[in-house]
């Protein structure tokens, strides 16, 4: 066998991660039925309608084995919301789950969704998710949720002057109780440009799911000790000044003139 032929054959055996196709869905269904009959722990056949819907919506990610051409794992929810990650029982512990999570994190980052949120189900999956960088959230309803915040560095403008910026997120009670403590506070390096826009060195992010009692979060933005904004994050004035709503919370990349 020549070297070129061998190279082509090896390429043909490469595994891949991609969106599901109709044949993948049939193969996954057969695998789930088989493992259900075997009593394999952590089988999501009971959620088949959800899996089908994710496929129809183009949101079902599959890991396809290079030698078999069959799906060995699938994921839905994109780690942005509670979903499903399942690896075929015979292939668990081979690194496929890690590869799927890494791909989902990469896709979420490209979509500018940096606040990840999942349910650890079954509970035996908790150590895996912790190894993948997720932090467990204590839940009163007995369910196990975890989150991860993807840091996003931003490029500071070469123009402008350095300014001190303080951004804090508070419970709604901040509006009538001045001594209310913040959920989180951030002081990123920042520059003020001639048009009044303030550019931050990295994204400021607030993950709502981390705080079970959060309702209408209040955001306060101070520049050099002076108040630039202090009110609910959901208001139009907050959006105009640079507070952006995303699936699991809010983020700020720049602070616009008031």
Stretch 149-159: mean pLDDT: 90
Stretch 131-154: mean pLDDT: 91
Q: Please say if the pLDDT value at position 113 is more than 60.
A: yes
pLDDT of residue 140: 61
pLDDT of residue 139: 72
pLDDT of residue 134: 97
Give the C-alpha separation, 100 to 106, whole Å: 10
pLDDT of residue 148: 97
pLDDT of residue 7: 34
Stretch 71-78: mean pLDDT: 97
Q: Please say if the pLDDT value at position 141 is more than 80.
A: no
Q: Is the dihedral of CA 217, 198, 253, 257 positive or negative?
A: positive
Would the pTM count as exceeding 0.75? yes
Q: For residue 38, how far is the Cα from the chain centroid?
A: 33
Q: Please say if the pLDDT value at position 93 is more than 70.
A: yes
pLDDT of residue 129: 96
Name the pLDDT band for 3 (thresholds 50, 70, 90): very low
Stretch 215-221: mean pLDDT: 96
Residues 6+ apart with CB under 8 A from 163: 190, 191, 192, 198, 223, 224
Least confident residue range of 55-59, 69-73, 121-125: 121-125
pLDDT tens digits along 176-193: 999 999 999 999 999 999
pLDDT of residue 169: 98
Q: Is the dihedral of CA 227, 233, 239, 242 positive or negative?
A: positive
Stretch 112-119: mean pLDDT: 96
pLDDT tens digits along 11-22: 457 999 999 999
CATH fold of 3-149 reads Aminopeptidase (3.40.630)
Stretch 116-138: mean pLDDT: 93
pLDDT of residue 12: 53
Instruction: Please provide the DSSP assignment of the chain as one string.
Output: --HHHHHHHHHHT--EEEE--HHHHHHHHHHHHHHHHHT-SS--GGGHHHHHHHHHTT-EEEEE-TTT-SEEEEEESTTTSS-EEEE-GGGTTSSHHHHHHHHHHHHHHHTT--EEEEE--SGGGHHHHHHTT-EEEP-TTS--EEEEE---B-PPPSSSEEE-EEEEEE-GGGGT-TTPPPSEEE---EEE-TTS-EEEEEEEEEEGGG-TT-SS-EEEEEETTEEEEEEETTSHHHHHHTEEEETTEEEEEEE---
Stretch 111-127: mean pLDDT: 94
243 near 203, Cβ under 8 Å? Answer: no
pLDDT of residue 132: 97
* Domain range annotation of the chain: 3-149, 161-255
Name the pLDDT band for 122 (thresholds 50, 70, 90): confident
């Amino acid at each position: 066998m020549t070297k070129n032929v061998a190279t082509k054959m090896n390429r043909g055996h490469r595994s891949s991660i991609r969106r599901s196709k109709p044949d993948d869905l049939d193969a996954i269904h057969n695998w789930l039925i088989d493992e259900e009959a075997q009593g394999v722990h952590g089988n999501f056949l009971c959620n088949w309608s959800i899996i089908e819907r994710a496929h129809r919506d183009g949101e079902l990610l599959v890991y396809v084995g290079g030698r078999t051409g069959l799906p060995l794992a699938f994921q839905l929810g994109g780690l942005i919301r509670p979903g499903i990650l399942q690896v075929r029982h015979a292939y668990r512990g081979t690194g496929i789950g890690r590869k799927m999570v890494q791909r989902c994190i990469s896709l979420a980052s490209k979509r500018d969704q940096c606040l990840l949120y999942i349910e650890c189900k079954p509970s035996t999956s908790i150590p895996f998710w912790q190894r993948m960088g997720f932090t467990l959230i204590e839940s009163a309803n007995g369910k196990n949720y975890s989150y991860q915040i993807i840091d996003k560095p931003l490029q500071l403008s070469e123009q402008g002057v350095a300014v001190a910026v303080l951004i804090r997120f508070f419970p709604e009670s901040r509006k009538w109780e001045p001594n209310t403590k913040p959920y989180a506070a951030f002081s990123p390096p920042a520059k003020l440009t001639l048009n009044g826009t303030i550019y931050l060195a990295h994204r400021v992010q607030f993950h709502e799911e981390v705080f079970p009692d959060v309702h209408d979060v209040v955001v306060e933005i101070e520049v050099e000790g002076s108040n630039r904004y202090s009110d609910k994050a959901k208001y139009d004035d907050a959006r105009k000044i640079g507070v952006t709503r995303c699936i699991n919370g809010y983020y700020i990349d720049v602070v616009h003139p008031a």
